[in-house]
Each structure stands twice: as structure tokens, then as C-alpha cells.
Structure 1
Amino acid sequence: MSNRASGNLMLLATVLLVSANLRPAITVVGPLIERIGSDTGLSPLALGALGSVPIVAFGIISPFVHVLGRRFGLERTIFVSLLLLAAGTLLRSVPGSDLVPQALTLYAGTSILSAAIGVGNVLVPAVVKRDFPDRVPFMTGVYTAALVGAAAIFSGGAVPLADALGWELAFAVPAIFALLAAVGWALRKKPAPDQRDTSSTRLVGAGLPTTLWRQPLAWQVTLYFGLQSTLFYTLLTWFPAIQTSHGINEASAGLWLGLFQAVGVVASLIVGQIMQRTRDQRGISAVVVAFMLVALLGIIVAPGLMPLWALCAGTSTGCSLLLALTFISLRAGSPRQVGKLSGMAQGVGYLLAAAGPVLAGALYQVVDSWTPVLWCAFALALAQGVFGHFAGRNVHVE
């Protein structure tokens, strides 16, 4: 193997390592949320708020991440974020005491780890654009598959881990993988000069942050990102509870949540290959949204087929994330533009998505039924389809 090939393999491996750490610390919560509520006394509304903490953190930090990346460099910024991810994950798992209520460590640790993940969310697309400029859709599919696959493993294993170790220690396990990723990232060799972004100073002027916010295409990408995030995090938080309301036991509900995410791995790899061969993604977007609409209707009218609806919903959310990230990379012209559009899309998009788990929990608390929540999700999926149609066109931000 040539030095160049081995260098590219190392670049790919480290990107996948980081990507695999961008969800497990969050997805481990959903299958255990009712157990957490029972042990801590938190209400459904408070538990919904806990599910929204990561999304709020993403939304707050995302617009500023590109500044950190420019100031300290992509490599150093991502490395520090991985260390913070491990620290926040460990803090969240600390049991409560008379001096420090468990709710405090739970929310504080979740806030820290979520801010760290927010850094990776924004900068990994910029790294892909810089290191693999000719393979953006395919590479986005690969790292999305790593992200979704790791999330699925931790969702599916959350309940068995909690049964064996207690839910606090189960919460701490993702910290081990964050530290491993930090070591791998520290050993990463910086790409050769010809792989770096040499066009950003020419393509990106001082007025870009202002003009981005005025461009319809940037808002179409942003709203698509926000709507797919809203659906994903609402289902991530409450899908196990929706299942148990239909008589499915906790372990099976966690397993189906894992399946919901695992199918996104295969879907992302397949769709990433297809997107590599096409410049217009409108048709792909329509098919992806159709899977979600079928899943939501299926849960409402035929809950006995829950594994099938988990497959459909997981296919949609996995591919929706891939599309959202690919839209960011393809609709921008350079890695620096990607960082700025990524900051806008994820900043606004995640703040929009933060309302999903909270409002879903509040609505359920009022009506004592998940059916109205699922119909609201259906309406959001329709809106996602509309914005996907516009964001999927072969056009670029100015």
C-alpha cells in the first residue's frame, strides 16, 4: 500500500472514529427514560426537557463553531471537543447526594457533552469537504453510517447494560469510546497542503455571514435540517414510551429503538452511493419522507407491526440526516463555506428541533395518548418533504 493510500485510510478511519461518538452518549437515554423518571422523580415534561438539552446545546454552539475551527484549527478543536465529551459523559453518570441532587449532575453533564458533540457536528462536514473534495456524498454516507450505527448499538444495549451495571454506569460507558477517539485523532497526520482548502479566501468574503442569512436556499437547507432533527429527536426520546404504551416490554422497546437506528446504517451507505452519481436530490428526498409518513401512519393504525414501522422510520431518519449533511456540503462551495452554512443550518435547525421532545411530552401529559403526538409528527414530515424538494435542487449559495 502506498504512503498516500495509507494516509487516506488513516484520514478515513479517524473521521469514522469521531463520527461514531456523535450520538451514543445521547441515544443511550431513550430506552432508559422511564427508569430515570422512576428513580429521580422527574415528570414526563422534565424528561422531555432532558431529551431537548442536547438539541438546545447544538443550536446555541453551532453558529460559533466555525470561528473556533478557524482560530485553533480543525484538528485541535475536534480533539478538545472529544475530551469534553468524555468529561461531560462521566459527570452525567455521577449519582446524586445530599449536597448535589442527581438532577443537577444529569442536566449539567448532558449540557457539557452535548456542546462537545455540537462541535463535531459542524466540523466533521468541513473535514470531509477538505480531505475528500471529490467524494463528498459517498463519504457523507459512510460517516453518517458510522454515526447511526454506533447510536444503534448503544440504544439496543442500553437496557441490558443498565440491568447489569445500573443506569448511571450505563450512561458512563460512552466516555470510554470518546477517549479512544481522542487518542486516534491525536495520532492523525494533517492532510497534505494540496488537500487543504485554498479557495476559501477567494470564495468567501467578509459579507458572507450576512448574505447567507438572506438567501432562500440557505434557509431551505436550514429548515430541512431542523425538521428532520425534530422528528429524529422526538422519536429518539419517546419511541420506547410509545411502544410500552402498546404493551411492549422495556427491553423489546429498546431493541426496536436500536433497530430504528441500525437500519439507517445500511440505508445511508446505499443512498450515499446513489447520491454520488446524481446532482439533484429531490427524488431521493421524496422517497425518504414517504418512508416516515408510512411509519407514522403504521404506528397509529397497526401498532402490532412495530418492528416494521421501526424499520421504515429508521430508514427515513438515517437517510434524512445523510441528506441534510450532504445538502450543507453540496450547496456550499468550499470547506470554509461549509463551516458557515453548517453553523447556520445546525444552529437554527437544532433550536427548532429542541421543542420537539418537550412539546411531545407536554402534549402526552395533557391528553394521555400518543396518537395526537404522532399526527403532529406526520405534519412535520410533510413539511420536511416540501423543504427537501427545494434544498435538493442542483444550485449553490452565492
Structure 2
Amino acid sequence: MKNTSTRRAGQVLLVWGLLVVAANLRASLTGVGPLLNRVQSDLGLAPAAAGLLNTLPLLAFAALSPLVPRLAARWGEERLLGGALVVLTIGIAVRWIPTAAGLFIGTVLIGAGIAVGNVLLPSLVKRDFPTKVGLLTSAYAMVMGGVAALASGVAVPIAEVAPGGWHTALGFWVVFALVSVLVWLPQVRTSGPAGPARRGQQLPWRSGLAWAVTAFMGLQSLGFYVVVTWLPQVLQDNGVSPAAAGWLLFWFQIVAVLTSLAVPRAMRWARDQRGLATACSVVLLVGYAGLFAEPRWALLWTVVLGLGGGACLVLALAFISLRAQDAASAGGLSAMAQSIGYLLAAVGPVVFGLLHSLSSGWRAPLLLMVVAAATQTAAALVAGRGTVAPTWRPGSELTAPAADHSAPTGR
């Protein structure tokens, strides 16, 4: 009885740890956009240099994600995640330094820390809670999105009233990062290096299903970062005031968070996730098409994009766990999906802005998003069902383990 109580307490502590980690995976990024004009003016940054503040973390995600499974095999997932939280904390603190060098170095460190958390959270959920993948994925996505929305909303008010202005508004999130380090410490103490089976596994580059999951992850990420970067400007150029445009971006994120709550129940009702993922991708398609055809109905299309975007984020994260046979496979699939996915996300806002410059309007870039949503819809039909077979390094002395039938595969 005592062992059961201890194990249950340990699981509760782990869930809280995962949620606190998730709270730190977006806030230090989404708080930059509302302050970008002030940062650019105070530091004398060129527009291209200012744009790097949004792009650098995504490039860090793309570059580091494939390395995470190998590092986790050497150090253990809990220790690696604990180290990543320390790096994230240092990055936020460095970005508080009122210089351009501190700003950019801190941003790179933040991207590195978040990249590790992005990859490891789906793997830890698959390993420790294989029968509650949908519920816990929705929970941490909701926390991640909710704190990100809060960061967008409070960035300007903090900058206006706090000593240090925008420096303090960006550095404020170091408090949350320090809390996450402390909450995660008990998990670090119980961590150890992974066994030989995990060390022998490679990323599933040759799997068509893995590429479908990667496409779904990448395209929904591209859409999110395009909206976060450019939606306020699109709205302002169509007659919406700057303040109202900022609040519409806030409501986009809030609607996305609320929508994510409904996804686990819908997943339980369905035999697989193909229909749900396709329907949610179509909702995004309608939102982009609406902005393209009738941008004056900005509030309606912002809500529609939030409805589709929140559900698609949860599905993309859940696919990583549901399409994998075990935690090691989930780590490899997560690294692949997030490396390619965030590379797309990094390129998306740049291409969107370039099309705007070349066409002197928003119709061409919005048409690009319509095409991206249509492609995501096609990927959903494949990514919503099946299991990615684990890939092993040549010469490994171990054979692939049998499939973990304790976890729902979504079929």
C-alpha cells in the first residue's frame, strides 16, 4: 500500500513538473512581438536584424532537435531536460542585459533550451503515461498556449510601468524559468542514462508515416508563427487599430487554448484521428480563405483560425506519441518532426513577408497560407493512423523490441 501511494505521489509530481516545464516553452518567445518596435528603436536595429529575434529560436529548434535523442541516451531524459531548463533560465537573464549582444545571445540560449523541451515532453508522456497521451498532451498544450497568450498581453503593460522598460518585460519570465528548475529537480535525481536499446535507435527518415506526421507538425507550426508575426499588420492594413489588432492576436491564442480542451474527448470517440485532424485542418483553411476573400471580417476569421490552430497543435503533439511504438521511438519521431517542422516555421514568416513586399499587398501571402492549409489537410489523412516502425543502427547487437500494446495506437 505504501509503495502504491509513493508511486502515485511520484506520478503526480511528474505531471506537475511536465506542466511547469510546458509553461516555459513559449512565453519568452511570444512576449517579443508586441515589444519589437521599442526594441528596434532603442537598440537601433535594422528591420532584418529585428526579425531575427523571431527567427533565431526557430532555427535553434530545427538545428538541435535531431541531436536530442542521442543526448538523452547519454545523460537521461530527466537530466537533459533539467539542463535545458537551466540554459533557458540563463538565456532569459542574459537577454535582460540592455545591449544588442545580450539580446541576441540570450535569444539563442532560449531557443536551445526550448528545443530540448519540445522534443522530450512527448517522449516522457509516452513513456510514463501511455494510456493518457491525449489528455496529458492537451493539458500541457493548454498550459503552454495559455501562458504564451498571457505573455503577449502583459508585455507592453509591464514595459510601460516597470523600471527598465522592455528589458524588464523580457527578463520577467526568468522567475517562471527558475520555478521550473526547482520543480523539476526531483526528476533529475532519479534519472539515469538510457539503455542500449535506445542508443541503437535512429530517426525514422525512411518512414512515409513519419514524414506525414512531420508535414502536419511543420505546416501547423508555420501557420501559427505566420499568424503571430503578421496577423496584426494584416489587420491594421485593413482598417483595424493597432491596439485592437494586438487584442485580436491575444484572442486568437485564447481561443486556441480553449479549443485544445475539447480534443482529448474527440480523440476518445474516434477509432483514429484522421477525420478529426482533417476537419481541424479544413477549419484553418476556411480561416485563411476568409482573410483572403473578406479581410474586413477580421474578428470572425481570427476566431476561426484559433479554433483550428488550437486543435491542430494538440493533434500534432499527440501524433508523435500515438504513432510511436514506445518512448524511444517517440523521441526519434519527435526529433524528426520538430526539426523539419520548425525549419518550415522559421521560413514561413520570412516568405510571407517577402511575398507581401513583392506583391505590395496581402493577397499573395494569404494565398500561400491557403495552399499550406490544403497541404496540411492532405497530410492529416495519412498522419492520423498507424505506427511508425522503429529504426535501428546497423550493427546494433539488439533487435527491435515488440510493440507496446499498452498504449493506444489510435487505430
TM-score (norm 1): 0.89
Identity of aligned residues (%): 39
Equivalent residues in 2 for 1:218-233, closer than 5 Å: 218-233=210-225
Does residue 49 in structure 1 map to residue 56 in structure 2? no
Q: Is the 8 A contact 1:154 1:258 kept in 2?
A: no
State the partner residue of 2:331.
339
Does residue 352 in structure 1 map to residue 349 in structure 2? no
Cα offset, 1:120, TM superposition: 0.2
Equivalent residues in 2 for 1:9-20, closer than 5 Å: 9-20=12-23
Q: Is the 8 A contact 1:218 1:397 kept in 2?
A: no
CA–CA separation in structure 2 for the residues paired with 1:244 and 1:40:
25
State the partner residue of 1:77.
80
Q: Is the 8 A contact 2:217 2:338 kept in 1?
A: yes
Change over 3 Å in CA distance of 1:35–1:297 after alignment to 2: farther
State the partner residue of 1:99.
none
State the partner residue of 2:393.
none
CA–CA separation in structure 1 for the residues paired with 2:143 and 2:389:
28
- Give the letter aligned to residue 167 of structure 1: W
Matched position secondary structure for 1:213: coil
Cα offset, 1:300, TM superposition: 3.0
Residue 149 of structure 1, aligned match among 143, 146, 155: 146
Does residue 185 in structure 1 map to residue 188 in structure 2? no
Q: Is the 8 A contact 1:228 1:317 kept in 2?
A: yes
Equivalent residues in 2 for 1:1-398, closer than 5 Å: 2-96=5-99, 102=100, 104-165=101-162, 166-188=165-187, 201=197, 206=200, 208-209=201-202, 212-398=204-390
Change over 3 Å in CA distance of 1:247–1:90 after alignment to 2: farther
Question: RMSD of aligned C-alpha atoms?
Answer: 2.5
CA–CA separation in structure 2 for the residues paired with 1:334 and 1:351:
26
CA–CA separation in structure 2 for the residues paired with 1:205 and 1:7:
26
- Give the letter aligned to residue 49 of structure 1: L
CA–CA separation in structure 1 for the residues paired with 2:41 and 2:188:
47
Q: Is the 8 A contact 2:88 2:177 kept in 1?
A: yes
CA–CA separation in structure 2 for the residues paired with 1:44 and 1:301:
29
Cα offset, 1:154, TM superposition: 0.8
Cα offset, 1:392, TM superposition: 0.7
Q: Which runs of 5+ in 1 are unaligned?
A: 97-101
CA–CA separation in structure 2 for the residues paired with 1:69 and 1:235:
33
State the partner residue of 2:401.
none
Q: Is the 8 A contact 1:58 1:118 kept in 2?
A: yes
CA–CA separation in structure 1 for the residues paired with 2:121 and 2:285:
30
Change over 3 Å in CA distance of 1:72–1:192 after alignment to 2: closer
Greater fraction helix: 1
Cα offset, 1:288, TM superposition: 0.9
Change over 3 Å in CA distance of 1:356–1:46 after alignment to 2: farther
CA–CA separation in structure 1 for the residues paired with 2:245 and 2:57:
22
- Give the letter aligned to residue 289 of structure 2: L
Q: Which runs of 5+ in 2 are unaligned?
A: 391-411
Cα offset, 1:75, TM superposition: 1.5
Matched position secondary structure for 1:187: helix
Which structure's relative contact order is higher, taking Cα pairs within 8 Å and 6+ residues apart? 1
Q: Deviations 1:337-359 (Å, cap 9, x if unpaired)?
A: 11111111111221122111222
TM-score (norm 2): 0.87
